[in-house]
Amino acid sequence: MVKVVHKFAEEGRVAIRHARTETMNRIKKTEHVSSDDQKHAEKEVQKTHDDHLKSVDAAVKAKEAEIMEV
């Protein structure tokens, strides 16, 4: 069971990384935006990415503890 949880967690992490990559590419392609605004947007995307990865890791730990409890 724990292996299944880890598999789903990794799939979630990969999806989050793909979303970050896609968003970064769109930010770089935007026109009429200053480079400072682009850098700020990239930092915000990275922060959101990190927050989501932390929430996935927390969910995995909680679920793993729940499974091992039984």
Integer angstrom CA distances of residue 70 from 3, 9, 65, 66: 16, 21, 9, 7
Q: Is the dihedral of CA 35, 36, 39, 45 positive or negative?
A: negative
Residue whose C-alpha is closest to residue 5's, from 70, 53, 66: 66
pLDDT in tens, 8-66: 999 999 999 999 999 999 999 998 999 999 999 999 999 999 999 999 999 999 999 99
Q: Is the dihedral of CA 29, 33, 35, 41 positive or negative?
A: negative
* Per-residue pLDDT at 69: 87
Q: Global pTM? A: 0.86
Q: How far is Cα 40 from Cα 21, in angstroms, rounded to an integer? A: 16
